[in-house]
Amino acid sequence: MKKILKLSLFAVLSGVIIFVGIKLVGSALNRIEKISRENEMVVESDDTVYASDSSDPIEQRVNNPNNDAKPISAVSYEDVSAIVDAVMPAVVSIDCTVPVEEYNIFGGMTTYIQKTSGSGFIVSQSNKQLFICTNEHVIKGASTVSISFCNDYVADAMVVGYDTSYDLAIVSVDISKIDKNTLSVIKVASIGNSDDIKIGDINIAIGNSLGHGQAVTVGYISAKDRTINVDGIQSRPLLQTDAAINPGNSGGPLLDIYGRVIGINCAKYSGVLIEGIGYAIPINNVVATINELINSFSIAEGEEGRIAILGKDVSEGYSKGFSMPMGVYVFGIEEGSRASESGLMVGDIITMVNGQEILSFDYLSERVGHYKAGTSVTLTVMRHQKNKYVEVEINVVLDTLE
């Protein structure tokens, strides 16, 4: 009897051990399957950089960073929600329609309308216009642009101008087309100082993620002065953040812990080995450009300025091969033009306009087109003298396009 009892207890105990073992193995297998399934979903994305799809000049305003502010280590979720509440009236969603042409099966062209979404923030307001900053790739090729404000009011907008080198654009909304209730709640964003940002600082991203409306993500500044290649073109230096940046976030603000704009969200890395790598344009790099674009609103078509020269790009390859500075090589100046009277010489290499770097002739033309003909701009040129290049500054009055 005792022997039978012992065998029974042993069988029960063995069953329990086997049951527990099966459960543990089952749980492990389920976990491995889940991770594997997640990895399969991530693998669908390759390792590519995706673009996450006149008034008073804007200034870098220090909004109340008082001495009573909590130290960074004490920032809480309540602090973030308060910042979001304060900043959201300055943030907008942008929806565009873009005509797309493609060949059909009969060899002809078919045009269809593609809808795209992005984000932006209000940077200036005059008596007649509201100016909104976003990315150039958000509005590129758009036939219509509409703005959704924080109270869901929607208004049509027009593209004022853009700067392809910085992936920057300004759109405007006619004040008379905005209802009084909306005007009473929206506000201009406060501009911070991206040069003061340190690696490890907390930052907040707001944007129209996936076109579903404004969403908030929080992270840290991971790195500064990063450059990436988008469609084979190297970007200007960017801030890197681990705050989630998704399609639709493009053009939205990256904020410091005081709610000031320190960057413009523009891109992210995506891939199986990549986690939390987003990018934003440092606001200090584009304040001057934003003001130029806003001021260009008052320039009538045909009154844009130009520099009357023939120029050729000195690319990185030419620069290394011929020991020349990068910029625009002047190989001709139109006779009788303002440029011919300025002291600019054939052989000069234009490297900057009003302190902004110039790397191509197309960008030089785009840049001076932000100014009205007759305006004086300062060119920084590299001039070859005594077997070396020396820097010279020249004031040039812009000619008309004709």
Q: What pLDDT, in 10s, does the model give residues 170-197?
A: 999 999 999 999 999 999 999 999 999 9
| Residue of 95, 167, 256, 348 marked catalytic | 167
Distance separating alpha carbons of residues 10 and 4, to the nearest angstrom: 10
The confidence band for 76, taking pLDDT boundaries of 50, 70 and 90, is low
Residue 155 structure tokens: 């208004």
pLDDT tens-place string over residues 94-124? 999 998 888 777 777 788 888 889 999 999 9
pLDDT over threshold 90, residue 77: no
**Average of pLDDT values for 147-162?**
94
The confidence band for 56, taking pLDDT boundaries of 50, 70 and 90, is low
What value does the mean pLDDT of the chain take?
Answer: 81
pLDDT at site 361:
93
pLDDT at site 33:
31
pLDDT tens-place string over residues 228-283? 877 767 788 899 999 998 888 999 999 999 999 999 999 877 766 677 889 999 99
**Average of pLDDT values for 87-99?**
94
pLDDT at site 201:
93
Going by the DSSP 8-state scheme, the letter that residue 243 receives in this structure is S
Distance separating alpha carbons of residues 159 and 260, to the nearest angstrom: 25
Residue 220 structure tokens: 């840290």
The confidence band for 6, taking pLDDT boundaries of 50, 70 and 90, is very low
Specify whether 250 is catalytic. yes
pLDDT at site 23:
44
| Residue of 172, 209, 250, 337 marked catalytic | 250
| Residue of 137, 172, 235, 399 marked catalytic | 137
pLDDT at site 50:
45
Report the CATH number of the 302-397 domain.
2.30.42.10
Predicted TM-score (pTM) of the model is 0.76
**Average of pLDDT values for 5-15?**
43
Closest by CA position to 72, among listed 261, 253, 256, 195: 256
Specify whether 167 is catalytic. yes
The phi and psi torsions of 279 (rounded to 5 degrees) equal -135, 150
The ranges assigned to domains in the chain are 302-397
Instruction: Assign 333 to helix, strand or coil.
Output: strand
Distance separating alpha carbons of residues 87 and 66, to the nearest angstrom: 18
Query: Within a 13 Å sphere around the CA of 378, how many CA atoms are in the beta-carbon half?
Result: 7
Which range, of 107-116, 166-175, 211-220, 319-328, averages the lowest pLDDT? 107-116
Is there a contact between 16 and 243 (Cβ–Cβ < 8 Å)? no
pLDDT at site 7:
40
